[in-house]
Amino acid sequence: MNTAGPADVPARMGLDLTPFRGLRYDPDRVGSLSAVTSPPYDVVVRPDGLHHLESSDPHNIVRLILPQATTPAARNKKAANTLQRWLAEGVLTADSEPGLYVYEQRTDDGMLQRGLIGALRLSEPSQGVVLPHEDVMPHIVADRADLMRATSANLEPLLLTYRGNGSAADATAVIERTAQDPPLLATTTEDGFNHRLWSVTDPEDLTAIQKDLARHQALIADGHHRWATYLRLRAEHPSPSPWDFGLVLLVDTARYPLRVRAIHRLLHHLPVTEALATLGDSFRIRTVQGPLSEAMETLSVAAAEGNAFLLAGDGAFHLVDRPSPDLLARTIPADRPAAWRTLDATVLHAALLDHIWRIPDVPEHIAYIHDTAATVAKAERDGATAVLMHPVREEVVRELASRGVTMPRKSTSFGPKPASGLVLRTVER
C-alpha cells in the first residue's frame, strides 16, 4: 500500500503533509462508529475506561491501541493479529486513493474545531519544524515503538497546532469549502462530541494545502511520546521509507483555538494527611469549600497570583500555595528561563515530588489523569493524594517550545483530542 508520497521528495523548511490511503471501519461490519472509537491511549483511565470500551463493541480500537495480555510481547502480537484479522474480514478497509482528511469536532455548546489529518514528514526538534514542549519517558516510547513495529501501523493521530494568519485562505479555504460537502462519516461519541470526516483528493486542493503548510512550523499539542516513537522507528529504517512519515492532525489555532486543560497527579502511596504534614512552613495551606467546581475556582484565583495546587483524597479540599522563596531557590534549577522556573509543574516536581515528598516519577508511584473528578474519586477510594493542577496558557507553551525549552512531562492537556479509530495509517514493511 502506498502510504506516503514520492520517497525522493527533499525535506522542506516547513511542514510537509502528505496524502495517504486511510484505513477506516466499514460501518456495515460494526455496531456503530461511536462504539468503535476511543480517546487516545494515554487518556483512557484504566481499568474502568478500558473495560467499558472493550465491551462497547468487539471491534473497538482500544483492542489495538491498548491490547491486553500477560506480557508486553504477547500484547503486541495480539494487536498485530487483531489488525490482520480485521483487515482480512473487511472490518477495516483502505480508501481507494490517497488523500488528506478534513476532520471536524463540534459540540452543541458552540465549540468547533477543524483540522487536517495526513502523513507528516518527520523532523528532529533541532530543525525547528515540529516543536515539542514536554519531556518524555523512555519506557513509554519503547512500549509504543514495540506496538507500532508489531502492527506496522500508525493507529491514532497526534495533535499538532500551527498558527495561520487567521483568515480563510489556502489550507483553511480548502478545509472550510470541503466541510460543506457530505462527509465520509459522521458520528457522535458519548462525551457529546460530533465527529465528521472528509477526504481531500483533488490535486489542486492538495497543492494549495501543501504550499501553505510549507510556510509554517507546528507545536506538538498532544502526543509527545508517539512523536518520539515515530523518530525512533524512522532511525531503524533506511531512508527513503514510509517510516519517514507519521500520522498527525494539524489544527490552525489562529482559526480554531484549542482548549488547554491541566493534567492532574495521583500519588498512589501518599495519604493526604501525610502529604500536608510534611509541608511544614514551605507552603501556605488552607482548607477550602467544595464542591469540586467551587474548589477548582478557588485554585484558579490563587494560581493567578503564583504557584498553587489543590490536594484532595480525604473528603476535603486543601489549597497549597505561596511556596517559600528559600524552598524555590534551593530546588528550582536557575539555568532555565523564568517562564519555566515559575511553572506549576516545575515547582511540583522539583520542590514537592523530588525534594519534600521524595516520590519517584514512575507509574508505581504517580498516575497522570486528565479527568478532575476521576482523580479525586480514585484518591478517596485508594487513600491516596490527588494533586489538582491549573492549566498553562498556550502562549507560555509556545514561547518555551520556540526557545527549545521543554516543560515537565504531562504539563498540559490540549483539546479536544482527535478520537482514535476514525482513520488509521498502515506502514509498509
Q: What percent of the chain has pLDDT over 70?
A: 94
pLDDT digit string, tens, across residues 277-321: 999 999 999 999 989 999 999 999 999 999 999 999 999 999 999
Distances (CA, A) of 50 to 56, 83, 175, 381: 10, 18, 33, 19
> 29 burial class (0-12, 13-18, 19+ CB within 10 angstroms)?
middle
- Inform me whether the pLDDT recorded for 135 exceeds 90: no
- Inform me whether the pLDDT recorded for 350 exceeds 70: yes
pLDDT digit string, tens, across residues 26-78: 999 998 999 999 988 887 655 566 777 777 789 999 999 999 999 999 999 99
- Inform me whether the pLDDT recorded for 11 exceeds 70: no
pLDDT at 372: 94
Question: Where are the strands (E) in 56-183, listed by range?
Answer: 92-94, 100-106, 112-121, 130-131, 153-154, 158-162
Return d(Cα 346, Cα 350) in angstroms, integer: 6
Q: Which residues contact 83 (CB under 8 A, 6 or more apart)?
A: 64, 92, 151, 153
Which band of pLDDT confidence, cut at 50, 70 and 90, is reported for residue 8?
A: very low
Return d(Cα 155, Cα 153) in angstroms, integer: 6
Return d(Cα 225, Cα 145) in angstroms, integer: 9
Which band of pLDDT confidence, cut at 50, 70 and 90, is reported for residue 2?
A: very low
Return the C-alpha cell found at 302: 490563587
- Inform me whether the pLDDT recorded for 23 exceeds 50: yes
In Å, how far from its chain's centre is CA 44? Answer: 11
pLDDT digit string, tens, across residues 178-227: 999 999 999 999 888 999 999 999 999 999 999 999 999 999 998 999 99
pLDDT digit string, tens, across residues 83-127: 999 999 999 999 999 999 999 999 988 899 999 999 999 999 889
Is the whole model's pTM more than 0.85, yes or no? no
Return d(Cα 201, Cα 98) in angstroms, integer: 7
Return d(Cα 223, Cα 242) in angstroms, integer: 19
Which band of pLDDT confidence, cut at 50, 70 and 90, is reported for residue 406?
A: confident
The average pLDDT across 122-148 equals: 92
